[in-house]
Amino acid sequence: MNRAGQLFLVFFVAAVTPASAWAQAAIQYDKIEIKTDKVAPNLYMLSGSEGVDPGHPDGAGGRIGVLAGPDGIFMVDSQYLQIGDKVLAAIRRIDPGPIRFLVNTHIHGDHTAGNATFAKLGAVLLAREELREGMERQPAPAPARDPGRLPVVTYGMGDPVRFRMNGETVELIPVRAAHTGGDTMIRFVNADAIMIGDFYRNFGYPFIDTNNGGSLKGALEALELTMKTAGPNTRLIPGHGTYINRTDIIPYRDMILAVQTRVQQLIAQGKTLQEVLAAKVTAPYDAKVPGGLLPAGAAGTSADRFVSMVYAQLKEGR
């Protein structure tokens, strides 16, 4: 490949790689343990241990949901490929039955890289059409390119897709371009719980992956949709971090709106991105956002990544 080609490849890979992947080399997969949390009589959440995943120091990888029972297992997200055996062992401790369905909340590898492992066990993979398109585009190396990782059933922005299994109604609620271009919230109606993916996070500042189709406007809409869909006691389960309820969304949304307003003012004054970052517009929130000033990949700290995204979205008139 000539020099221009090499340069193109470097920038292309940089542009399509989520920040969490930059830390991938340092993830200590062999040290990850899977913790299981029962949130309802037949609904469980699996998460990775602390301190072994530099991109997610609060808990390795993305959270997995498991609805178990006589009708088989319904899974949400699949974690890293490298720990498939540990995830499977954790599921088997809950229920020995067939894994029938697996839905992805969004495209990122910490939520989807293990897809093929469960597809090979017979699970039907489901996701937004945009997620599948994004996966097909990604220049992932083998074995991550395994075609078995691709969703088999896809859906768009219409009514929720509903599953009736194990006495539960599971709703796959499509979310317009928010954390990524193909987000889905998964609601367990009887358990009164919603897995909301990564458009809300309580470790670090919001991450809106515009390279994978996410948008600031969509993220704000997703937060509104969450508050509308959830009841007062509904447990909201983010892809990372602690559980919340709908009132916790309010200060989070207000923080995004305040930062957006401040960045808009600075843009109106003709400030460059460097000047906006130097203005430390997140300062009033930094003490309240755990991990907010930790490095978050190539863009600097989590706060820098967030402010850079807000700046770019406003500059583009989004």
Q: Closest separation between CB of residue 73 and Zn ion, Å?
A: 23
Radius of gyration of the chain (CA): 19
Q: Closest separation between CB of residue 214 and Zn ion, Å?
A: 9
Q: 108 or 149: whose CB is closer to Zn ion?
A: 108
Q: 27 or 266: whose CB is closer to Zn ion?
A: 27
Q: Closest separation between CB of residue 167 and Zn ion, Å?
A: 30
Give the residue carrying structure tokens 């670090």: 204
Contact positions vs Zn ion (CB under 5 A): 108, 198
In 10 A of CB 252, how many CB atoms? 18
Q: Closest separation between CB of residue 265 and Zn ion, Å?
A: 29
Q: 178 or 220: whose CB is closer to Zn ion?
A: 178
Q: Closest separation between CB of residue 173 and Zn ion, Å?
A: 17
* Residues 6 or more apart whose Cβ sits within 8 Å of residue 284: 258
CA 199, 202, 203, 204 torsion: positive or negative?
positive
Q: Closest separation between CB of residue 267 and Zn ion, Å?
A: 27
Q: Closest separation between CB of residue 184 and Zn ion, Å?
A: 12
CA 48 to chain centre: 14
Q: 166 or 184: whose CB is closer to Zn ion?
A: 184
Q: How far apart are CA 160 and CA 153, in angstroms?
A: 14
CA 116, 65, 23, 259 torsion: positive or negative?
positive
Q: Closest separation between CB of residue 123 and Zn ion, Å?
A: 21
Q: How far apart are CA 116 and CA 278, in angstroms?
A: 44
Q: 108 or 128: whose CB is closer to Zn ion?
A: 108
Q: How far apart are CA 22 and CA 297, in angstroms?
A: 6
* Residues 6 or more apart whose Cβ sits within 8 Å of residue 173: 160, 184, 185, 186, 187, 194, 225, 229
Q: 198 or 304: whose CB is closer to Zn ion?
A: 198
Q: 108 or 132: whose CB is closer to Zn ion?
A: 108
Q: How far apart are CA 307 and CA 207, in angstroms?
A: 10
Longest dimension (CA), the chain: 62
Q: How far apart are CA 201 and CA 68, in angstroms?
A: 26
Q: 209 or 304: whose CB is closer to Zn ion?
A: 209
DSSP label at residue 42: T
